[in-house]
C-alpha cells in the first residue's frame, strides 16, 4: 500500500465562516456552525455556518432583486456566463477533486474523473442546449413564450455534492432564473469553493446565492419563503415528501430526484461476464452511494451459478481504502449513520435467508478508523426481501433469477422506484424492446454511456422533473400566451 502525500494526511481545516449572498461573502446572522468530518479518518476537516431563517430571507431577497435584470439577458448571454462557470471549475479541477475526496471519501482519481467531470459537463452543454429550446412560437393567433419561472431554491445531497448543484444551477440560470442553494450539511465544502469560482468571474450580484444549514431550519425556511417561486430537490424520498407538503401550501412547483433501486436485466443471450462486471461497477461507484446504482442484477435462472462466480471474482478486485491511497478503488461511506444503515441491511438480508456471495462484513483489516464497508453480493434473494426492495445506498448488490423475458420485466418493474436501469443482450433490438417495457427514467443498453444532454429523472417514488441539457432548462420555464 502506497503512502499518501503528507499534506493530504493532515491538511489544514477548511473553515468557511461566511455565506455567499448578493455577490458578497457576508457574516451569517447566527453563531451556529456545522462540522464536516473526513469519512476515512472520522476527523474534523472543516466547518460552515448553520444558516438561519434570516440568512435565507437575505438570500431569497437578493435573488428576487437580481431576477429582473438576469431574466432580461438574452439566452445566449446567459449561456456565456454559464460557460465561464464551467471554465472556472475546470481551471481548479484538482482543487475541487481533492476537497470532494476529503468530504465524501471517493478515491481521488475517481473524484477528478467522475465528480468534477460531471459538474463541468452539466454546465458546458448549456450554451448549445439553449439554442435547442423553443423560446417562442406562433400557434394560430397566439404567440407562445417560454419564460423563467422565477427564483429557484435548490436543495442538494452529499453523494455528488458539486454535480448535484451544477445540474440544477446550469438549467436554472440558462432559463433565466436566479438561485439560492442549500447544500448538504455533510459535504458542503466544495460548494463554497464553487461560490469562490463564481465570485471570481464576476457573475452579477444575486444571481447565485449560497446558504448552508440543516434541513429542518434552513431547508424548510427556503422552501416556504415567499420569494422562492420553485424548489428543485435531490435527496431521499422521505425528505422529498416533506418538501412537497411545505411547497404545496403555497402552490409552488417542485422538481425532485429521489431514491432508486435500479435493475440490470441480463438476458440469456448477453455476455454474462461483461454484464455482471459492468453492472457491479455501476453498483459500487461512489461506494454504492449513487441514486441510480444498479443494485438489482436480474439473471437467467440457468445462469445464476455462473453469475455468482463472476460477481464474486469482480467484487474481489475492489480495493477498499482511504481516498488518497493510490491503490484504493473504493472509499468509505460518507458518515457513521450511513455505515450503520448499510450494515443493518446486510444483517437483515442474512436474517431473511439471502446468501452472501462476496463481502457481507465491515472492512477492518488495517483500517482502524473510517466508515468502510466491503463490496457485497447476495444471492438466493427473492423479490419481496428488504434488500431487494429498499434503497440501501451502499456497496450491496443482489442477484435475482428469472425464468423468461416477461418475468424479467415484471421483476424490474416490481419496485416503488423508477430512476435507472440497464438491459444486456446480444441483440440490440431485443434489448431495446425490453427496455421500452421497463418503467424507469434512464436505461443503459449494453453499457451505453451517460449523456449529460439527455434528460435525467425518474418515475414513481423516484420523483418527477428532469435535469440535463435542454430538458433541464425547460424544467425551469413556464408558458405565456399572447393572443394577437
Question: Which sign, positive or negative, has the C-alpha torsion 402, 405, 410, 416?
Answer: positive
Question: What b/e string do you get for 274-283 counting C-beta neighbours within 10 Å, with b at 16 or more?
Answer: ebbbbbbebb
Distance CA 226, CA 58 (A): 12
Question: What b/e string do you get for 313-342 counting C-beta neighbours within 10 Å, with b at 16 or more?
Answer: ebbeebebbbbbbeebbbbbbbbeebbebb
Q: Which residue matches cell numbers 393572443? A: 483
Copy the grid coordinates of residue 115: 465528480
Strand partners, 299: 401
Query: Are the CB atoms for 286 and 320 separated by under 8 Å?
Result: no
C-alpha 208 chain-centroid distance: 20
Contacts of 374 (CB under 8 A, 6+ apart): 320, 358, 359, 360, 361, 362, 363, 395
- Which residue numbers are catalytic? 257
C-alpha 444 chain-centroid distance: 17
Q: Collapse the DSSP code of 295 into the 3-class scheme (helix H, G, I; strand E, B; otherwise coil) and give the result.
A: strand
Distance CA 446, CA 265 (A): 10
Query: Are the CB atoms for 330 and 375 separated by under 8 Å?
Result: yes
- Strand runs labelled E in 325-391: 355-358, 376-379
- Around 92, how many Cα atoms within 13 Å sit in the side-chain half-sphere? 20
Distance CA 402, CA 464 (A): 30
Determine the length of the chain.
484
Copy the grid coordinates of residue 16: 468557511
Distance CA 313, CA 208 (A): 47
Query: Are the CB atoms for 158 and 337 separated by under 8 Å?
Result: no
Copy the grid coordinates of residue 363: 472492512
Q: What are phi and psi of 451, to 5 degrees?
A: -125, 115
Distance CA 432, CA 416 (A): 22
Q: Which residue matches cell numbers 427556503? A: 222
Q: Which residue matches cell numbers 451517460? A: 450
Question: What b/e string do you get for 416-434 counting C-beta neighbours within 10 Å, with b at 16 or more?
Answer: ebbbbbbbbbeeeeebeeb
Amino acid at each position: 500500500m502506497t503512502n499518501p502525500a503528507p499534506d493530504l494526511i493532515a491538511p489544514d481545516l477548511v473553515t468557511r465562516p461566511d455565506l455567499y449572498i448578493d455577490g458578497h461573502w457576508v457574516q451569517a446572522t447566527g453563531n451556529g456552525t456545522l462540522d464536516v468530518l473526513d469519512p476515512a479518518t472520522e476527523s474534523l476537516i472543516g466547518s460552515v455556518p448553520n444558516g438561519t431563517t434570516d440568512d435565507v430571507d437575505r438570500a431569497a431577497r437578493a435573488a428576487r432583486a437580481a431576477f429582473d435584470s438576469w431574466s432580461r439577458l438574452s439566452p445566449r448571454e446567459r449561456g456565456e456566463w454559464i460557460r465561464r462557470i464551467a471554465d472556472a471549475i475546470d481551471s481548479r479541477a484538482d482543487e475541487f477533486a481533492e476537497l470532494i475526496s476529503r468530504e465524501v471519501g471517493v478515491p481521488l482519481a475517481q473524484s477528478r474523473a467522475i465528480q468534477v467531470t460531471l459538474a463541468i459537463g452539466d454546465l458546458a452543454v448549456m450554451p448549445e442546449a439553449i439554442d435547442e429550446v423553443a423560446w417562442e412560437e406562433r400557434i394560430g393567433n397566439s404567440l407562445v413564450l417560454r419564460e423563467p419561472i422565477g427564483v429557484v431554491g435548490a436543495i442538494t445531497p452529499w453523494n455528488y455534492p458539486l454535480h448535484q448543484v451544477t445540474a440544477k444551477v446550469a438549467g436554472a440560470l440558462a432559463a433565466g432564473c436566479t438561485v439560492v442553494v442549500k447544500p448538504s450539511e455533510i459535504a458542503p465544502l466544495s460548494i463554497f469553493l464553487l461560490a469562490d469560482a463564481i465570485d471570481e468571474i464576476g457573475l452579477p450580484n444575486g444571481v447565485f446565492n449560497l446558504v448552508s444549514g440543516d434541513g429542518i431550519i434552513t431547508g424548510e425556511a427556503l422552501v416556504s419563503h415567499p420569494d422562492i417561486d420553485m424548489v428543485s430537490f435531490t435527496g431521499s424520498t422521505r425528505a422529498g415528501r416533506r418538501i412537497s407538503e411545505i411547497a404545496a401550501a403555497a402552490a409552488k412547483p417542485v422538481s425532485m430526484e429521489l431514491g432508486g433501486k435500479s435493475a440490470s436485466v441480463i438476458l440469456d443471450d448477453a455476455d454474462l461476464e461483461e454484464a455482471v462486471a459492468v453492472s457491479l461497477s455501476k453498483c459500487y461507484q461512489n461506494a454504492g452511494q449513487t441514486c441510480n446504482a444498479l443494485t438489482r442484477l436480474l439473471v437467467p435462472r440457468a445462469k445464476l451459478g455462473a453469475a455468482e462466480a463472476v460477481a464474486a471474482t469482480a467484487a474481489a478486485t475492489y480495493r477498499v481504502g482511504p481516498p488518497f491511497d493510490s491503490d484504493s478503488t473504493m472509499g468509505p461511506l460518507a458518515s457513521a449513520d450511513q455505515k450503520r444503515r448499510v450494515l443493518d441491511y446486510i444483517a437483515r438480508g442474512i436474517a431473511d435467508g439471502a446468501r452472501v456471495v462476496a463481502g457481507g462484513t465491515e472492512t477492518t483489516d488495517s483500517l482502524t478508523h473510517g466508515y468502510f464497508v466491503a463490496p457485497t453480493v447476495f444471492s438466493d434473494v427473492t423479490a419481496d426481501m428488504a434488500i431487494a426492495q429498499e434503497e440501501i445506498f451502499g456497496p450491496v448488490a443482489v442477484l435475482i433469477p428469472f425464468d423468461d423475458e416477461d418475468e424479467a420485466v415484471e421483476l424490474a418493474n416490481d419496485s416503488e422506484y423508477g430512476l435507472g436501469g440497464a438491459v444486456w443482450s446480444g441483440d440490440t433490438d431485443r434489448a431495446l424492446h425490453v427496455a421500452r417495457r421497463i418503467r424507469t427514467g434512464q436505461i443503459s443498453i449494453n453499457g451505453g454511456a451517460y449523456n449529460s444532454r439527455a434528460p435525467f429523472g425518474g418515475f414513481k417514488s423516484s420523483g418527477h422533473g428532469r435535469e440535463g441539457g435542454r430538458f433541464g432548462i425547460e424544467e425551469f420555464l413556464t408558458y405565456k400566451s399572447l393572443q394577437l
